[in-house]
Every structure is written in C-alpha cells, then in structure tokens.
C-alpha cells in the first residue's frame, strides 16, 4: 500500500453547492448595497430521492396524496445521463397535481411536483431551483445528497426528506443534514423493491418515519398544516386558542427540567429558538400540539426523553466541513504552532467533537502542513462531547463510504506501509457501504499525532495513542 496518498482536498460536489450567505437569509446577511427583498412565503418543501424501483414507489405515494397539501415536491431520481427523461409525463398520468421538469431558476410553488432532468445537479436557494451540469468524476454522483443538503440549508425545519426504493447509499448524508436542521425524514419500509437506499439511511439513524409509500402520503398530509413545518416561529407551536402564553412557557420549562433530570445536561442557557425548534419537532412527531401536553407525556417515558436528548445534540459535521476555517488554520495558526520549541508537545482540544470528523480533519490538516513545511512536530489532540453515543462512534473511527468520498487519494501526505487502504480505495471508487477509518493516530501521522477520546470534560495531559 506504500505510496498511496490521501488529502483533505474536497471534490466538486460540495464546492459547487450554493452556500452564499447573501442568498440565504437563514445563514445571515445580504450583499452590501443590495436591495432588500421580502423573503418568500414559507411552506414545506419535500425532497424525494429514489433510484431503481423509485417510479413505482412514488406513483403509489401520489395515489394517496391529497391534491392540496400546500407542500412543494421535488423528485430527485437517478436517471440515464445520455437520454431524455419521460418521468414527468409518466407521473402526470398518476396524479392531478401539476408535474414539470425543472428548468434553471424555477421557483418552487405549493401543490406542484418538480422532476430533476438527466445529467444535472439540483439545488435550492431561497426557494428557487438551481441547475448545474454534472461534472465527470471517479465516484458515483450523489444527486440526492446534493439536493437534500441544499434543501436543509435553505428551508431548515420546513425541509422534508423522503427516501424511496433504490440501490447504493445516495441520500443518507442529505437526510442527516435535513434532520440536523430540524426537518422531518421518511424512508420506505420493506415494501421497497430495492432497499439499499432506504436501509442505509435508516441504519444511519437519520430517519423519523419508516413507512410504506401509502402511509408516507398519509403522514405528509397530517403534518402539512402543522405550525412547525408551516414556517411559524417555534413559540407559536403550541398554545391553543385561549391558552395563555405563560402556560406555553411553563410547558417548555417543565420539558427542560425533565430533560436535565434524565440526561444530566442543562439546556436552559442554549439558544432558545434552537431549543424550541427541537422540542417542537418532537411534538410534531408525537402528534402533540401543546408544550404542557408534551411535558406530561415525557413523565415516566425514558424512551422519548432519550429521543429528545438525541435531537438536542444533533449537529452537522463532516470531514473538512468548513474549508475557509481550515485555510485560516493553515495560513495563520499552524505556522505559529510549528515555530515553538521542537521538544514541546503541541496539544489541541476539539470541543463538541460529535462523531469525530472534525478532530480527525484537524489532525490530518496539521500533519500535511507540517510535512510540507519540513517541520514535523508531535501533536496530541483531545476531543470531547457531552454525548456518549457520539463519542463511541468517534472512538471507533469507522465511516461509511458516503461520508468519506470527498477525501481524495491524490494529496501530498504519503501513508506508511501498514495503512489499510483497501477500504479507502473501495470508497474512492464508490463501493456501497465501504467503511474507512482515518487513522489520525498511527497511520496518517506516523505516530507523531495522538488523538485521545475523552469523556465529557477536558483533560490537560496524558492521552492514549489510537
């Protein structure tokens, strides 16, 4: 295996994703001097991802879907890139809801269905569909992930993801992004003709409902008018007519108290809007409309308390997720670190490490920089999180192919001979479910970096090589 290389350079799939904060009010800001425009009216936008067997499943869903849900539907189906698609015409025969193939800069409207054209990547910016030609690459295109991630960024809690029949694992990362932003996620049950896509998303823990297409339609109709996905502020998701606002606030306080007693974590000082959205999301899933009623349901219900706790800790993480931040590390931070005395052990502490990608990324980035600068240094990296479940994943350090396919094998750092690259090579070639362990301890850093997975608090010395 000697001579193989790995790099943090990310492929074009994420680089091309529209993330301009000026175009995304949820992420803050407009360009200086630009004319302010009122944001479009929010309504739920449903992304449907499918591959083999998906047409049959989506047709079945449409047969049971009301015509006036108030939702917009965007179907991202794996299509032959060399041929025109007849999918819009086929779907139009199954429903009276207007069906059209996406054209660039097309605004999503409620009670409409939009179908991705062949050989394109589709994204959503301020409720407008954006098309990009697909670029040739070695690994399979993840068109569902590409759209779902943009849907999550743009619509947040108004985003809904549905994975239907299909092969491979496209959609898993995007479903995680939707859930992390507070959206709702569905996957087809064992009625799927090809169950790899829904099964992978379910196994990743990012699916709220596992249902048949018929029952997915029923559930979409139920939640369509719920205030949580209708774009209302979280504080409005609860009090019925005549109920005092103080009662709703007291209900939220009771929920946080029950959660603290269950988990040992006090969320009362977290961002209130974020906390209320997480609670409102669980209320929707449990078909409860008032915070005080949800608080009552939590008493003596450790399963739901654990589910709420897990939702509170959902975070969006990925390898080298914020390239600009890593550029700052490379240009301003790492140079100062390597200038310190060579016999001084460098220590880095990653707080809220989640499932570990950020910690591994920092280790890889530092080693690449030190190698290029000719100043190899010892680095000890500590990573902590309040979630024991996430820490277990981080300690294991195994990641599905879809989570690592942005890591290329053509970077400057050479892995030592004992590195097991059989998995990473399969991952780069797009094999489904090919796990990869980024060895930030013995492999990537040739024993010059140690990553210590600790518990809930910091440790200033010690650490164990992985």
Q: Is domain 318-453 in CATH 3.40.50.300, yes or no?
A: no
**In the chain, ranges of CATH 1.10.155 domains:** 233-312
Residue 466: its pLDDT value, please?
32
pTM here is 0.73
Catalytic residues: 51, 78, 170
Question: Looking at the domain 233-312, which fold is it?
Answer: Chemotaxis Receptor Methyltransferase Cher; domain 1 (1.10.155)
Residue 163: its pLDDT value, please?
98
Q: Do the beta carbons of residue 193 and residue 41 sit within 8 Å?
A: no
**In the chain, ranges of CATH 3.40.50.150 domains:** 318-453
Residue 250: its pLDDT value, please?
86
For the structural domain made of 12-27+41-228, what CATH number should be given? 3.40.50.180
Q: Do the beta carbons of residue 186 and residue 163 sit within 8 Å?
A: yes
Sheet holding 184-188, edge to edge: 99-101, 112-115, 72-77, 45-50, 159-163, 184-188, 209-211
Residue 210: its pLDDT value, please?
97
Angle, alpha carbons 158-221-43 (nearest 5°): 25
Residue 1: its pLDDT value, please?
37
- Nearest CA to 153 among 194, 197, 113, 183? 183
Helix or strand holding residue 92 (H, E):
helix 87-92
- Nearest CA to 179 among 42, 291, 282? 282
**In the chain, ranges of CATH 3.40.50.180 domains:** 12-27+41-228
Residue 38: its pLDDT value, please?
43
Residue 338 backbone dihedrals phi, psi, to 5 degrees:
-75, -10
- Nearest CA to 115 among 147, 158, 69? 147
CA distances in angstroms from 17 to 72, 289, 384, listed in the order given: 21, 35, 30
For the record, the structure tokens of 257 come out as: 């108290």
Residue with token string 């060579």: 342
> pLDDT 10s digit of each residue in the chain, 466 long?
333 344 444 443 444 444 433 333 333 333 334 444 444 557 999 999 999 999 999 999 999 999 999 999 999 999 988 888 999 999 999 999 999 999 999 999 999 999 999 999 999 999 999 999 988 776 678 999 999 999 999 999 899 999 999 998 899 989 999 998 889 999 999 999 999 999 999 988 899 999 999 999 999 999 987 877 765 544 444 444 445 556 667 889 999 999 999 999 999 888 888 898 899 999 999 999 889 999 999 999 999 999 999 899 877 788 888 888 999 999 999 999 988 888 888 888 888 888 888 988 898 889 889 888 888 788 888 888 888 888 888 887 777 666 666 565 444 333 333 333 333 333 333 333 333 344 433 323 223 344 555 554 333 333 333 3
Residue 295: its pLDDT value, please?
95
């Amino acid at each position: 295996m000697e001579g193989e290389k790995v790099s943090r350079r990310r492929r074009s799939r994420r680089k091309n994703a529209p993330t301009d904060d000026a175009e995304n009010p949820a992420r803050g800001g407009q360009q200086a001097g630009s004319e302010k425009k009122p944001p479009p009216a929010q309504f739920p936008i449903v992304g449907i991802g499918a591959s083999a067997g998906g047409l049959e499943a989506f047709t079945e869903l449409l047969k049971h879907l009301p015509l006036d849900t108030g939702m917009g539907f965007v179907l991202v189906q794996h299509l032959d890139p060399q041929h025109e698609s007849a999918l819009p015409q086929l779907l139009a025969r199954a429903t009276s809801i207007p069906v059209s193939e996406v054209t660039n800069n097309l605004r999503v409207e409620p009670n409409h269905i939009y179908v991705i054209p062949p050989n394109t990547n589709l994204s959503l910016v301020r409720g407008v569909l954006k098309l990009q030609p697909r670029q040739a690459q070695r690994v399979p295109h993840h068109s569902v992930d590409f759209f779902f991630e943009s849907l999550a960024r743009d619509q947040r809690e108004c985003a809904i993801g549905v994975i239907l029949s299909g092969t491979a694992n496209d959609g898993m990362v995007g479903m995680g992004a939707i859930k992390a932003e507070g959206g709702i996620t569905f996957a087809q049950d064992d009625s799927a003709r090809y169950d790899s896509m829904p099964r992978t998303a379910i196994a990743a823990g990012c699916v709220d409902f596992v249902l048949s297409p018929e029952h997915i339609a029923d559930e979409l109709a139920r939640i369509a008018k719920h205030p949580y996905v209708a774009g209302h502020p979280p504080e409005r998701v609860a009090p019925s007519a005549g109920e005092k606002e103080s009662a709703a606030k007291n209900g939220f306080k009771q929920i946080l108290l029950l959660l603290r007693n269950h988990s040992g974590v006090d969320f009362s000082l977290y961002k209130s809007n974020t906390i209320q959205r997480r609670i409102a999301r669980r209320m929707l899933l449990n078909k409860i409309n008032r915070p005080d009623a949800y608080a009552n349901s939590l008493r003596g219900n450790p399963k739901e308390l654990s589910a709420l706790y897990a939702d509170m800790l959902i975070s969006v993480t990925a390898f080298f997720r914020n390239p600009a931040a890593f550029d700052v590390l490379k240009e301003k931070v790492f140079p100062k670190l390597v200038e310190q005395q060579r016999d001084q052990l460098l220590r880095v502490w990653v707080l809220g490490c989640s499932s570990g990608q950020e910690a591994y990324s920092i280790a890889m980035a530092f080693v690449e920089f030190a190698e290029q600068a000719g100043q190899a240094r010892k680095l000890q990296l500590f990573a902590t999180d309040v979630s024991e479940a996430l820490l277990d994943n981080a300690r294991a350090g195994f990641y599905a192919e879809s989570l690592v396919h942005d890591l290329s094998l053509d970077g400057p750092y050479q892995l030592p001979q004992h590195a097991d690259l059989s998995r990473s090579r399969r991952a780069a070639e797009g094999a489904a479910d090919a796990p990869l362990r980024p060895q930030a301890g013995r492999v990537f850093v040739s024993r010059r970096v140690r990553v210590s997975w600790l518990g809930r608090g910091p440790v200033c010395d010690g650490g164990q090589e992985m």
